[in-house]
Amino acid sequence: MEQAVAFKEWEVVCDALGRGTQCVLLRKGGIHEGREGFSFKHERFYLFPTRFHEQAGQVRISCDFQAPEWEPGDMVPLRWFCEAVWARTLTDWEQVRRLAPFHVWKEEVLRQRFGWGKEDRIHCALVRVHRMLEPWTITYEKKHGGCRTWVDLPEVGGEPPGGMTPVVPDAEFADQQRQVEAVLDH
């Protein structure tokens, strides 16, 4: 059996990824990332939606997320599975700023994340998102909380339970990839 992992992300961002309106993940790292700091250390992972109460004011899209953060015992639906096509560390603010068409965060949120810590940088991953045909519901445990990005999930054998389908068709995703890479290669 393979250990399943999930990437914790705001619910509003998970929904944008699941609709195909976002194709990159940008992360500085959480408090509990350890001495080495954050990295995209997994190529395949589930999206674990978090309900950070101020997320609606941190994005450029309208949303109405009023649900409280998960509590131990709550049932959390995992709806999306990701494959990281590549991951890079960005140290040029202009590159990060030019990624705006590919995500929903407000510029000031990313600027704050980029400048937080000893070095100006942010980690970026281009992700191919798949909608799970049947959501995988897990029980929220205390170990899923806190300021960490990666959480271990129950073991599964290979592919997500129930199968999956790409959110964005192959040709459209290839075009998104070309556009994102063009932004980063200039």
Contact predicate 116/14, CB 8 Å: no
Contact predicate 153/52, CB 8 Å: no
pLDDT tens across 35-68, in order?
A: 454 567 888 999 999 877 566 666 666 666 667 7
Mean pLDDT of the chain: 84
What is the predicted pLDDT for the residue at 149?
A: 83
**Cα distance between residue 164 and residue 144, in whole Å:** 24
- Amino acid residing at 118: K
**Cα distance between residue 83 and residue 171, in whole Å:** 16
The Cα-based distances of 56 to 12, 53, 64, 135, 169 in angstroms read: 7, 8, 7, 24, 28
Model pTM score: 0.87
Weakly modelled stretches of the chain, pLDDT under 50: 1, 30-35, 37
